[in-house]
Amino acid sequence: SLTAGIVGLPNVGKSTLFNAITKSQVEAANYPFATIQPNVGVVEVPDHRIDRLVELFHPKKTIYTTFEFTDIAGLVKGASKGEGLGNQFLSNIRLTDAICHVVRCFEDPNITHVESSIDPIRDIEIINLELILADLQTIENRISKVERKSKTTNDKESKMEMALLNRLKPHLESGQPARSLETTEDETLILKNYNLLSMKPVIYVANMDEEGVMDPENNAFYQAVLQYAQKENSEVVALCAKMEEELSSLDEEEKALFLEELGLPQSGLDRLIKKAYHILGLCTFLTAGEDECRAWTFKKGMKAPDCAGVIHTDFKRGFIRAEVYKFDDIDQLESEHAIKEAGKLRLEGKDYVVEDGDVMHFRFNV
């Protein structure tokens, strides 16, 4: 499964956020597939559509889909030169699919900042630079492999790759992440193969104090992070890690009450989970019945048989067709019977591209 790695300088609130995640962790009884390592937190993806299906079907079992965070502690200045176990951390980041970059936007004289002042953009750039420097090493290795071939043969692919590398190198050298380089579709495919650290999608987590988080629009630190992120097409989530940690130790009812008192529609962690899911191009299809209402994750663009395979490989192998209706239709019409009457149930074959919010029944041969 896909995972988002939590990174950041020391003392910015990473562990506090990761504690909030592990306290919100799914119960292994419901998710036996989620083998859980100490640095991994598996959380449910909040989904109001499941809540609504539960109202309509009264199932015996309700299962949300999940998302995984990995704690990658201790990335510091000089990591790309192997400082502070640097290489270990960089290779841990390489194993993740997206980066949650926690930045300190709270002031607290009692908590030391490694750079001794609060300056989120400086902090962001310290870490981004390490990722970019590591990528430059990767690129230089690649150049030494491709350069000769592109010069001495007529191989079109290596010529195209060399042209890309010749643009990418100065781009990285000027301190810009690989993800902000404009590329053609073919070039994007080549780039993906390098598995560059600065190519991964990023969510900046602006960690604010309790007051700041109530009104982030008027917080200069948050605004600076937002502007920085917009320039490179990254996302930002403002939250207060301490508050999230407290929230996550409450039960569902207490949590809802607490949020209501604060006038917040959802927790910061829930917003972070949804954004991480979104930037990875993940979508949800639903299955509904009296036994179970359940959300399943698929990659945008997947066809019906592959989605069937998310549930069980047998469903994919023996796929005949899918019966599909839209969540919005059942939300309105309130029963599968009414869906059929209204002609909203569709039969789809193996070429059907599943959409977010589809409610699926798969027909298959065993």
Which of 171/242 has CB closer to ligand GDP? 242
User: By CB under 6 A, which span of 8-16, 117-125, 148-156, 269-277 interacts with ligand GDP?
Assistant: 8-16
16 is in an annotated binding site: yes
15 is in an annotated binding site: yes
Site string for ligand GDP, 99-138 (x = CB under 6 A): -------x-x--x---------------------------
* Member of 49, 142, 242, 271 binding ligand GDP (CB under 6 A): 242
Which of 113/169 has CB closer to ligand GDP? 113
Residue 197 in tokens: 């650290």
Shortest Å distance, C-beta 102 to ligand GDP: 6
Rounded Cα–Cα distance for residues 208 and 63 (Å): 32
User: By CB under 6 A, which span of 41-49, 86-94, 114-122, 238-246 interacts with ligand GDP?
Assistant: 238-246
* Member of 16, 39, 176, 223 binding ligand GDP (CB under 6 A): 16
Rounded Cα–Cα distance for residues 223 and 353 (Å): 39
Sheet holding 98-104, edge to edge: 40-44, 66-71, 3-7, 98-104, 202-207, 235-239
Rounded Cα–Cα distance for residues 208 and 160 (Å): 45
Identify the DSSP state of 26. Answer: P
Site string for ligand GDP, 183-212 (x = CB under 6 A): ------------------------x-x---
* Member of 4, 7, 13, 96 binding ligand GDP (CB under 6 A): 13
- Site size for ligand GDP (CB under 6 A): 16
Shortest Å distance, C-beta 54 to ligand GDP: 33
Residues 6+ apart with CB under 8 A from 260: none
C-alpha angle 193-34-284 in degrees, rounded to nearest 5: 70
Identify the DSSP state of 303. Answer: B
What are the helix (H) ranges across the chain?
14-23, 48-57, 86-94, 120-152, 156-173, 185-194, 220-231, 241-248, 252-262, 268-279, 304-311, 313-317, 327-333, 336-341
* Member of 11, 87, 183, 223 binding ligand GDP (CB under 6 A): 11
* Member of 5, 7, 14, 96 binding ligand GDP (CB under 6 A): 14
Residue 180 in tokens: 């902000």
Binding-site residue set for ATP: 11-16
**Given the rule CB under 6 A, which residues bind ligand GDP?**
8, 10-16, 106, 108, 111, 207, 209, 240-242
